[in-house]
A = this chain, B = another copy of it.
Amino acid sequence: MRQVRDHYQELRVRVAETAGLRRTFTVLFRAFDDGVAFRYDLPAQPNLGAFAISEELTEFAFADNPKTWWIPANRRAMDRFEFLYASSPLSMIDSVRSPLTMEMQSGPVVVLHEAHLEDYAAMDLARVGERTLRPALAPWADGVKVRGRTPFVTPWRTIQIADSPAELVPSVMGLNLNPPNRIADTRFIEPLKYDGIWWGMHAGKYTWPSGPKHGATTENAKRYIDFAAANGLRGTLVEGWNVGWSGDWIGTYGREFSFTRAYPDYDLRAVADYARSRGVQLILHNETAMGIGNYERQLDSAFELYKSLGVSSIKTGYVNDKTAEGHAHTGQFMVRHHRKVIETAAKYGITVNAHEPIMDTGERRTWPNMLSREGARGGEYNAGGPDGGNPPEHETILFFTRLLAGPMDYTPGVFDIRLATSSGRARMPGEPRVRTTLAKQLALYVVLYSPVQMAADIIESYEGQPAFQFVRDVAVDWDTTRVIDGKIGDYVVVARKAAARDEWFVGAITDENARDLSVPLDFLDAGTRYRAEFYADGPTAHWLDNPTEMIIRSEAVTATSTLRLQLAPGGGQAIRLRKIP
């Protein structure tokens, strides 16, 4: 793996200056070990004050026709990131999201993305020539792309380059292009695992609105808090606790949502007190349904309430195609909104895990309370929706695409793979279900990085499950990452060293094909013995008809050992490596 250093070189070019009506802007380039970045600066000047951008004409022209892995942007009535990936030559795409990962025909891998998106539209990409892309900026409701006033800087456009997919790691370039941390006291920010009242709603056991199957009752929340406390999870998410979920909450842009008033069967203070007494963070859900005005009006009062209750974590949601006013998810209006939520949350000592968000552009360097987010098709699609759940290859693509932008709250760890317990009946062939083996669910904790990781299933599914020990043990914060091997859409093997702990974890996942993989353990400390604990697919495991067969065993290994991993179709393997004292 290439060492990615964070030093850089700068080059400033003045690109436009006309004599008559003199207007100036400059392009600033920065070169990193693993790529380059540039942005446009519009300095304060007499002839340019307030302005509106109707199109950004940057072009990315490629020397050959790379294979791209993409999700569509600007679809009719589907303005979101929650798509399965398609792959095709660059010359066949239309409008796509960034980050965009491309395998050049000549070998290297190129990733286009952006950094430090603060007051601009997010960068979707549209093809404007056979091999040329241009930023496609989602508009305000009135069609304007970006409003600004000099002095003004655009986000950075970043081009990351690696020799092969396995050398693609989330670049520090994007983080370095954001300003340093602005939060003085960061003690409220804690990486953690969490359980939650959530999958039960997707699977059909519970409902968000209050009623006979209401998930977010005081009693049920305490049960989930107890489970978290008993199993070393440090957080419990509760969705459906607040009023507003009845009726057509999407069609009305969440008009009825209150972010302070709980349903009668959910005692907000009692649950918060109980969580604190058990040493568990309560994570409160704020679904906006893109009713941004309604949410922003309540932001301060809600966060003040949460702070008074000792609640320091929220999960936000933006389930809808556009805002109530017609603004796009990725336009400047929503970019400003997301920044406002992060900054307001920081003021009250609250961390944010955003679902249906805009893409990570490194703002968590400045605001480290921006812990994690969704921004892709997550595990929830395995429970519902008409199109059959995520195919086994899905996460092997995510690793090389979405995850390059930053951490993702994918919500792995579903043990009841056919949803028999969580929905009351096992899924029929073709119905959405988790297209995975149990071992792969464990491996995802290592493969898909997030400083907050959910044990996503209903807690009943973990009862009497020896494999749950891995969820208890696995780290969520890491010192070092090594991508051992991988091919986009086929498989990936990752080793990560836990932060401030002498432990390594290895995660390997495959698509619908079985695989034998070799993992040299040369990343371990030389001359030291480690206890390796394996959670492996059983010999006849298969995502479709035998998903839970698993072999759990351990053996002593050293840095000179090479592991042989046998992954089942749709399978994986999770390994914990601890120094033997």
Contact = CB atoms under 8 A, between A and B. Distances in A.
Contacts of A88: 84-87
Given A130-B387, A131-B387, A430 B86 contact: no
Nearest to A394: B89
A83 interface: yes
Contacts of A63: 429-430
Interface stretch (A64-72, A315-323, A520-528): A64-72
A129 B65 contact: no
Interface string A217-231: 000000000000000
A87 B84 CA distance: 11
A86 B84 contact: no
Contacts of A388: 64-65, 89, 91, 105, 130-131
Contact of A84 (B92, B106, B129, B131): B92
A107 B90 CA distance: 29
A132 to B, nearest CB: 9
A255 interface: no
A576 interface: no
A13 B332 CA distance: 57
A72 B93 CA distance: 10
B72 A92 contact: yes
B430 A64 contact: yes
A385 interface: yes
A391 B64 CA distance: 10
A541 to B, nearest CB: 16
Contacts of A430: 62-64, 106
A234 interface: no
A389 B334 CA distance: 40
A107 B106 CA distance: 33
A544 B64 CA distance: 12
A386 interface: yes
A435 interface: yes
Nearest to A90: B387
A62 B388 CA distance: 10
Contacts of A387: 65, 89-91, 130-131
Interface in A356-395: 385-389, 391
A166 to B, nearest CB: 14
A141 to B, nearest CB: 25
Nearest to A103: B512
A130 B90 CA distance: 25
A435 B105 CA distance: 9
A386 B130 contact: yes
Given A106-B429, A429-B106, A430-B64, A89 B130 contact: no
A429 to B, nearest CB: 6
A389 B512 CA distance: 30
Interface in A73-123: 83-92, 105-107
Contacts of A544: 105-107
Contacts of A72: 92
A429 B64 contact: yes
A87 B87 contact: yes
A326 to B, nearest CB: 24
Contacts of A391: 65, 67, 89, 105
A91 B84 contact: yes
Contacts of A429: 63-64, 106
Nearest to A62: B430
A258 to B, nearest CB: 33
Centre residue among A72, A84, A90 by max chain B CB count within 10 A: A84
A59 to B, nearest CB: 14
A385 B86 CA distance: 24
Nearest to A385: B130
Centre residue among A67, A385, A387, A512 by max chain B CB count within 10 A: A387
Given A65-B389, A131-B387, 17 more contacts: A62-B430, A63-B430, A65-B84, A65-B387, A65-B391, A83-B92, A84-B88, A85-B92, A89-B387, A90-B387, A105-B512, A105-B544, A129-B386, A130-B385, A130-B388, A131-B386, A131-B388
Closest 9 CB pairs of A and B: A86-B88, A65-B388, A63-B430, A91-B387, A130-B386, A130-B387, A64-B430, A84-B89, A65-B387
11 contacts: A63-B430, A65-B387, A72-B92, A83-B92, A84-B92, A85-B88, A85-B92, A87-B87, A91-B388, A105-B391, A105-B435
